[in-house]
Chain A
Amino acid sequence: MSLNVEHASVRTLPSEKPLRLLDNAGHAVTGSATGGFGLPDTQTLLELYRKMVVARRFDVQVTALTKQGRLATYPSAYGQEACEIGAVAALTAEDWLFPTYRDSIALLTRGIEPADILQSFRGDWHNGYDQHAHRTAAQATPLATQALHAVGLSHAARLRHDPIVALTFLGDGATSEGDAHEAFNFAAVWQTPTVFVVQNNQFAISVPLERQTRAATLADKAVGYGMPGYHVDGNDIAAMYAVTSAAVERARSGGGPTLIEGVTYRIEAHTNSDDPTRYRAARDVEHWKRRDPIERLEKFLVSEGVLTESMRTEITDAAEALAARTRDVMTIEAELDPLELFDHVYGRERAALLEQRASLEAEIAAGAFASHEGAAR
C-alpha cells in the first residue's frame, strides 16, 4: 500500500462508566469520569444548545406531520439530539457524513433543507438532497451498509492526500450486522480517517441491547479490531462533542479510525408504524425523559449565566420559524412526474426503458390515473 501505515496495535479499553463532562443536573464533572477531555468553551456550548433546540422542534413537528398522514414514515430522534448533533458538529463542511434513516436532525445540522431531508419519508423520491454539495450521503435503510461506504470514501480521500474525515452513524442493533464488522476491520487495517458513532438508544425496534450483544459496552468492540473505542454518555453533548472532535482530529492527522458509543435512548416509537408498548415499560421512558440532553445543557448554561432570557426567546423563535417552514413545505403537494421514474436508472439511454416510458405516458394521456390524486400533474 502506498500509504505508510505504522503497525501499532491498540489495547486501550473503553471506560466502564460512560465518559461525561456534564452530569444530569448540568454540573461540570471533574476527575477520571471525564477521561481527560475538557469542557468545550461556552460559546461552542451555546451554539450546540441552539442546534439541539431547533432540531428537537423539527423532530416534534415532523412526528406531528407524520401522524397527520403527510409523511409515509418518520423515524424520530427525540432524545438523541446530543449524540447526533455533538458528533456532527465536530465535522468541518469538507468532511463527509454517512447517516441512517434515524439521523434526519443530523442532516438538518448539516444545513440541508427540511423539504429535501423529508422527500424520501414523504414518499416522493428515495433521496432528496445533493449528496456532494452537502457532503452527506443518502440516508441508508439497509443496516450498517453505509459504514463500508464511509470507510471507502475516507480511504480514497486519504490516497489523494485530502484531509477529509468520514463520520458514520450506526444503531446498536446495526453493530450485529456483518457489514458493521467488515467496516470496523477495513478501517482499522487500512487506518482510514473514519469515525464510527454508534448511537446506543437501547433498542433495535423491539429488541433490547442485551439481545444484541454480550459485550460490556459497544465501545469494547473497537479493541478487537485494533482501534480506540470510547464509551460516552450520549445525552451529554459536551462529552459527545469533545470525544468526537478528538477522534476527527486524530483521523485527520493520520491516526486512523475510532469507534464512539453514545449511550442514549429513543423516546419516541421506532417509526410511526411501531407499537413500543409491546416491548418497553412507560416508566423506563419516563426515566430517560428525566435525562433529557437539552435540559442538561440548559441548566449548565443558565447557571453559568451564559444563556439569558432574551437569548432563549430568540432561539425558541428560530425553532418555531423552522417548524413553521417545515409545516408549510409539507402541506404543499410536491409535483411529481411519473415519467421521471425512467430517467435515472442508467446514465445511457436504453431502448426498452424508453418504450416503457412511452407506454406510461400514453396511459397517463388516456386518463388511466385520472381518478388518483396527484396523477397526471
Chain B
Amino acid sequence: MAGALNAALRDAMAADDRVIVYGEDVGPLGGVFRVTDGLQAEFGEDRIWDSPLAESGIIGTAVGMAMYGMRPVVEMQFDAFSYPAFEQMVSHVAKMRNRTKGRVTLPMVVRIPCAGAIGGVEHHSDSSEAYWASTPGLTVVMPSNPADAYSMLREAIESDDPVVFMEPKSRYWSKAPLALPVTTAPMDRAEVVREGTDVTLIGYGPTVRTALEAAEAAAAEGLSIEVVDLRSLSPFDDETVSASVRKTSRAAVIHEAAQFGGYGAEVAARVTERNFHHLAAPVLRIAGFDIPFPSPKLEEYHLPTADRVLAALDTWEWDA
C-alpha cells in the first residue's frame, strides 16, 4: 500500500505541475514510511521538499499555497503529531470556502498515517478520525487496501476541497497485484467487500481486515456476514450502508478508536435513523476501550479483534 500511495503521488505530480509535496522528512529520506521515496530525485526540490519541523506551519502555509493555485499534498508524520495543527485545520482549512462564500477554495490534501497495531511507542498509534470527521468543511477518507489507496489519493489530489487522507499504518505493508493506474469506486462511496445475508459489518481502514476475518470465522458457523468498507468517513455513504442493512437487518461497526463519542456513534445513529423499521437488533459498536492508546506490549488487549466482533454479535437475541 505504501508503494501504491507512492505511485499515486508520482503520477499526480507528473500529470499536474501545481501538485507539490512537503512535510517532515519527505525529501531524501522519502518519509518515515517511505511513501514519498524517490520523488524528490524525480521532481526536484521545488516540487517536493523537507519543511521545518512545525505542523501548524505546514498546514498554515499549505492554506496560502492553495489560495495561490497550488495543490499541496502535505504529510503529518504520525496522527498524534497533527495536533499542533488543529487550529489551522479546524479554523481555516475547514472553513475557508464557507466564510468566503465559495470565493476561496483550498485544493489541498493532508496525509495522516493513522491508528495502531504496529507496536509503536506513545503518540504513534492514535486514531484521530472523529476529530476531523466532526469538523464541517473537511472531507475525510481512509483506504484499506492498495488499489483504493492509489485511486483515492489521485481523486483527493484532484478534489477542489481539502481532504484529510488517513493512511492506516498497519496496512502500509499489505500487498496486492496492481496494474497502475487503477480506478476504483469514487472516494465518497462505501463498498461491499464481501456479500452476506445475516449481518452487515461496517469497518474502515485497518478494521476492514478484522471484519473480513470475523466474516470468515462466522461463515464456518453458518452465519453469513456482509462486510462494508466505508472508505469515506465524511461524507458518509448512507445509500450503500442502508441498502446492505436493509438486506441483512443487523449491523455492527468496528473501529480502533475509543468507543465513547467515537465515529461508530455516528454510524450507529445514522443507520438507526434511516433503517429503524428494518432492524432486527440494535446497531453494535466494537471499538477500542475508552483509554489512551496503550504501550506496545498491551495494545493487543485494546484493539478490536475478530473474536470480539463475534462475541458482540452473540449478544443479540437471534431468535427474536
- Whether B28 lies near A278 (C-beta < 8 A) is yes
Q: A124-B295, A142-B80, A360-B301 are in contact. Are A207 and B50 (CB under 8 A)?
A: yes
The listed residue (A178, A211, A341, A363) touching B291 by CB distance below 8 A is A341
Query: Is B186 an interface position by the 8 A CB rule?
Result: no
- Whether A207 lies near B54 (C-beta < 8 A) is no
Q: Could you list some 30 contacts between A and B, CB below 8 A?
A: A120-B121, A123-B296, A126-B292, A126-B295, A142-B83, A142-B84, A142-B123, A143-B81, A173-B53, A176-B52, A177-B53, A178-B54, A179-B84, A204-B24, A204-B25, A205-B29, A206-B28, A207-B27, A207-B50, A273-B32, A278-B30, A279-B28, A338-B301, A341-B291, A341-B298, A353-B289, A356-B290, A363-B308, A363-B311, A375-B300
Contacts A126-B122, A143-B81, A207-B53 given; 10 further ones with Cβ under 8 A? Answer: A72-B120, A123-B121, A124-B297, A126-B292, A204-B53, A206-B29, A341-B298, A342-B289, A352-B260, A368-B305
Instruction: Enumerate chain B interface residues (CB-CB to A < 8 A).
Output: 24-25, 27-30, 32, 50-57, 80-81, 83-84, 119-124, 260, 289-292, 294-298, 300-302, 305, 307-308, 311
User: Which interface class (under 10, 10 to 19, 20 to 34, 35 or more) fits A?
Assistant: 35 or more
Query: Is A213 an interface position by the 8 A CB rule?
Result: yes
Query: Is A10 an interface position by the 8 A CB rule?
Result: no
- Whether B84 lies near A177 (C-beta < 8 A) is yes
Instruction: Enumerate chain A interface residues (CB-CB to B < 8 A).
Output: 72-73, 120-126, 141-143, 173-174, 176-179, 204-207, 211-213, 273, 275, 278-279, 336, 338, 341-342, 345, 350, 352-353, 356, 360, 363, 368-369, 372, 374-375
Q: Quick one: closest A residue to B54, CB to CB?
A: A176
Expressed in whole angstroms, the Cα–Cα distance for A212 and B52 within the complex equals: 5
- CB neighbours (8 Å) of A363 from chain B are 307-308, 311
Expressed in whole angstroms, the Cα–Cα distance for A73 and B32 within the complex equals: 14
Nearest-Cβ distance from residue A360 to partner chain B, whole angstroms: 6
Q: Quick one: closest B residue to A343, CB to CB?
A: B291
- Whether B298 lies near A336 (C-beta < 8 A) is yes
Nearest-Cβ distance from residue A74 to partner chain B, whole angstroms: 10
Expressed in whole angstroms, the Cα–Cα distance for A237 and B81 within the complex equals: 33
- Whether B25 lies near A206 (C-beta < 8 A) is yes
Closest 8 CB pairs of A and B: A123-B296, A206-B29, A176-B52, A173-B53, A338-B301, A176-B53, A123-B297, A176-B54
- CB neighbours (8 Å) of B119 from chain A are 72, 123
Q: A176-B53, A360-B301 are in contact. Are A142 and B81 (CB under 8 A)?
A: yes
- Whether A212 lies near B53 (C-beta < 8 A) is yes
Expressed in whole angstroms, the Cα–Cα distance for A178 and B119 within the complex equals: 29
- CB neighbours (8 Å) of A279 from chain B are 28-29
Q: Quick one: closest B residue to A373, CB to CB?
A: B297
- CB neighbours (8 Å) of A342 from chain B are 289, 291
Q: Quick one: closest B residue to A178, CB to CB?
A: B56
Expressed in whole angstroms, the Cα–Cα distance for A125 and B311 within the complex equals: 28
- Whether B52 lies near A211 (C-beta < 8 A) is yes
- Whether A341 lies near B29 (C-beta < 8 A) is no
Q: Quick one: closest A residue to B299, CB to CB?
A: A123
- CB neighbours (8 Å) of A369 from chain B are 300-301
- CB neighbours (8 Å) of B83 from chain A are 142
Expressed in whole angstroms, the Cα–Cα distance for A31 and B123 within the complex equals: 47
- CB neighbours (8 Å) of B122 from chain A are 120, 126, 141
- Whether A368 lies near B307 (C-beta < 8 A) is yes
The listed residue (A123, A124, A126, A213) touching B52 by CB distance below 8 A is A213
Q: Quick one: closest B residue to A362, CB to CB?
A: B311
Nearest-Cβ distance from residue A361 to partner chain B, whole angstroms: 11
- Whether A206 lies near B53 (C-beta < 8 A) is no
Expressed in whole angstroms, the Cα–Cα distance for A141 and B124 within the complex equals: 9
- CB neighbours (8 Å) of A278 from chain B are 28-30
- Whether A205 lies near B123 (C-beta < 8 A) is no
Q: Quick one: closest B residue to A175, CB to CB?
A: B53
The listed residue (A73, A204, A372, A374) touching B121 by CB distance below 8 A is A73
Expressed in whole angstroms, the Cα–Cα distance for A302 and B50 within the complex equals: 44
Nearest-Cβ distance from residue A69 to partner chain B, whole angstroms: 11
- CB neighbours (8 Å) of B50 from chain A are 206-207, 211
- Whether A205 lies near B25 (C-beta < 8 A) is yes
- CB neighbours (8 Å) of A177 from chain B are 53-55, 84
Nearest-Cβ distance from residue A213 to partner chain B, whole angstroms: 7
Nearest-Cβ distance from residue A355 to partner chain B, whole angstroms: 10
- Whether B295 lies near A120 (C-beta < 8 A) is yes
The listed residue (B32, B54, B291) touching A353 by CB distance below 8 A is B291
Expressed in whole angstroms, the Cα–Cα distance for A360 and B83 within the complex equals: 30
Q: A120-B122, A352-B260, A356-B290 are in contact. Are A72 and B25 (CB under 8 A)?
A: no
- CB neighbours (8 Å) of B84 from chain A are 142, 177-179
The listed residue (B24, B296, B301) touching A341 by CB distance below 8 A is B301
- Whether B52 lies near A205 (C-beta < 8 A) is no
- CB neighbours (8 Å) of A122 from chain B are 297
Q: A141-B122, A341-B291 are in contact. Are A206 and B27 (CB under 8 A)?
A: yes
Nearest-Cβ distance from residue A136 to partner chain B, whole angstroms: 16
- CB neighbours (8 Å) of B305 from chain A are 368
Expressed in whole angstroms, the Cα–Cα distance for A15 and B307 within the complex equals: 64
Expressed in whole angstroms, the Cα–Cα distance for A275 and B31 within the complex equals: 11
Nearest-Cβ distance from residue A335 to partner chain B, whole angstroms: 11
- CB neighbours (8 Å) of A73 from chain B are 121
- CB neighbours (8 Å) of A124 from chain B are 295, 297-298
